[in-house]
Structure 1
């Protein structure tokens, strides 16, 4: 790293870091990590950026598949975000998931990289039917904070801030951030890293919706969501399939951030 900023940024993770919800697979995905790279590049025009994230990956898979390639790229900045797919599985062990994340924190920071991560928002605020998952998220977040503290990892702590869980920050499937949500995550990570121009504005609540969903309208929205997204997800899990089957990282090598404009991400 120079006085002007970071020179080599590598992102590892699952669908959120890949950018699902911000663009599409035809036109290309952007996502919060791309947005963060763009912000860094404004201060460090020579920034090189790689994104190794693949949708559907569990934390252990992220470690097994992405950590070694990330280390080979010798980043001076790395982001590690994973674990939400684990939360959604029937068998969930917060200690095991946090252990996978901590191993990545230790390896990357031990090689000299500045490492950043995030905690996860309250799922019940995003989708009322996801409220039973809140204790799992609370447990994982606590362990992420502890592991990050042991390795000097910057944490964008989303749980305390209602703006992060506002449904408008999430796409229709309620699993992936919307473009607005990806921008908010990028702002949160930038703030955690104390990047030039960053501040705490991402923590401020959004203005109330003009029309709130209440009563039968809210129930109808839940039923439509379950039919369009939850049902297919459950079927895929029962068949042992993942949304990331057969997929590769969208940006496996370090490239100038200007390459983001050519449709490569």
Structure 2
């Protein structure tokens, strides 16, 4: 199938695919998957789009909770992006996480769907306090590439491009992309599937900006830890997730111009 002929696009994943960092729970979330759907619809106005992603989900939950509904929708294009929540957990097994993703790849490609995933940038360059998990990101990316290769899954290689760790592509929590970051991810996936009108412009660096002094950078780290890292650790200790009580924002295939009848976010309002 040519990339301009997709009729049914289904997105699976966690908060990044749900769209956190691009809009909010009051005005609504957009996100890279919505932006990709817009690009697809510009080529084929008949496109229908569903987004099954829910914040806080680890790869195993994406497999157990989202794969069945995705298969029932019979997509001809599916994006599967998960694993970041896994690598932030105390116990992390890259092979296990990649195994969950591979099960999703296997099932979706067996139906004839074109499946797309992506690799992750070095989180240590985005949030210096996250440098200890850098090796986990490398291992996870290697596992994703290997699993994708075995099933003909397209990989949008966002890892390795310096622009993907530019702070301007990330929201204040440094975990979710900013609106500009979501736009770059959508462009990366569009380029990976050779969508008409797409190119590699998403890899280009942003204009230079002033480098903060050491004391300013240190102060920013402290503010980030207090505002985001601390609350995240508290939730982990309490066994809670930002996705508790939430469901997919767009569980059914609908034309892009159609808004789901009921809001997807039924859980408490809290930081992702």
Q: Once the two structures are superposed, what CA deviation does each residue of 1:140-184 show, in whole Å capped at 9, x if it has no partner?
A: 001101111111111111111011111110000001000000000
Distance 2:228 2:3 in 1: 46
**1:238 and 2:243 correspond:** no
Q: How does the TM-score come out when normalised to structure 2?
A: 0.94
Alignment of 1:90-101 (within 5 A): 90-101=90-101
Q: Residue 57 of structure 1 corresponds to which residue in structure 2?
A: 57
Q: Residue 104 of structure 2 corresponds to which residue in structure 1?
A: 104
CA contact (8 A) 1:28 1:263 kept: no
Distance 1:94 1:26 in 2: 35
Q: Residue 218 of structure 1 corresponds to which residue in structure 2?
A: 217
Q: Once the two structures are superposed, what CA deviation does each residue of 1:72-97 show, in whole Å capped at 9, x if it has no partner?
A: 00000000000000000000000000
Q: How does the TM-score come out when normalised to structure 1?
A: 0.96
Shift of 1:3: 7.8
Shift of 1:100: 0.3
Alignment of 1:128-143 (within 5 A): 128-143=128-143
Alignment gaps of 5+ in structure 2: 265-272
**1:148 and 2:141 correspond:** no
Q: Residue 187 of structure 1 corresponds to which residue in structure 2?
A: 187
Q: Residue 200 of structure 1 corresponds to which residue in structure 2?
A: 200
Cα gap change, 1:4 to 1:136, in 2 (>3 Å): closer
Query: Aligned pair count?
Result: 264
Which of structure 1's runs of 4+ aligned residues deviate more than 6 A? Answer: 261-265
CA contact (8 A) 1:28 1:264 kept: no
